[in-house]
Amino acid sequence: MITSRYHVPAPTCPDATGGEAGLLRLHDELSAEYDLQERAYRFGETGFRFLSVRDSYALLDRISPEEFLKDEQMPYWAEIWPAAVTLSRVIMEDLDIAGRSLIELGAGVGMASVAAAMKGARVLATDYSTEALRFVVYNTLLNGVSLDTGRLDWRMIRIDEQFDVVVAADVLYERVNLLPIVMAIETLLKEGGVAYIADPRRRLAEQFLELVRDNGFAVTSSETHDAEGDQTVAVTIYKLERAPR
């Protein structure tokens, strides 16, 4: 089920949330709650800026034992992971998605979704964390694009809407999530659609691939690298398409 769905208009749209005033107001709200950092990126010929939390581990104190027992949710959304950088670069440099519908699972602060919107896709950026979606809104406004956001629980995909493209970056980190992610892709992807999953070569990726193949998907992969600080991180992009019947 997708809840808290919200349209983020481009700054040129005459909407109360758009423009510099809305951006500054949201920045003030976020800076009152988080220690922020903003970094520049370049994908292809296009420059971007993204706001994130400087130290995601500092957010652990916000999670009560009751909340953790309920969902075991860690604040992974607050960082920009190398796989998200790689996926965003692939979106901008390699994918022909203009005019196509695209949903991102586990969008975090929205890097890949913003890149897809910049490339001309009709984007729905989703995350389980409502905190993350506030950063998605900010980064959407900051980069001058338009998209929709929505809260999505992978375990309960109960919508009729389907998409031409499904993307996700670094979501294969918990075994309990593997089958829900596979079923989410199965439910959300149109017939003839394509899913792209960026993963920093985690061990669970092999189990994920077994599950998607068992569910009728053909998989191709490409390997690339992205930097994180002084280190270069190996990232694999898995392309999932429904196998011919």
Q: What is the pLDDT of residue 67?
A: 52
pLDDT of 105-122, one tens digit each? Answer: 999 999 999 999 999 999
Mean pLDDT of the chain: 88
pLDDT tens digits for 137-150?
Answer: 999 999 999 999 99
Which two structure tokens, joined as six digits, stand for 88?
């965003």
SS3 (DSSP) at 9 = coil
pLDDT of residue 179: 95
Does residue 169 have a pLDDT over 80?
yes
> Which structure tokens are listed for 10?
């481009």
Q: Which uninterrupted H or E stretch holds 62?
A: none
Determine the pLDDT at residue 112. 98
Weakest mean pLDDT among 38-42, 68-72, 161-165, 183-187: 68-72
How far, in whole angstroms, is CA 34 from its chain's centroid?
A: 20
Average pLDDT of the segment spanning 72-83: 82
> What is the tens place of the pLDDT at every residue in 181-233?
999 999 999 999 999 999 999 999 999 999 999 999 999 999 887 666 556 88
Instruction: Please state which of the ranges 154-158, 219-223, 232-236 shows the lowest mean pLDDT.
Output: 154-158
Please report the sign of the dihedral spanned by the C-alpha atoms of residue 125, residue 131, residue 136, residue 141: positive
| Ordered structural domains, the chain, with CATH | 2-242 (3.40.50.150)
pLDDT at 74: 67
- The dihedral through the CA atoms of 185, 188, 192, 197 has a sign that is negative
- What is the pLDDT, as a whole number, of residue 69? 44
Which H or E run includes 79? none
Confidence (pTM): 0.90
pLDDT band at 16 (very low <50, low <70, confident <90, very high): very low
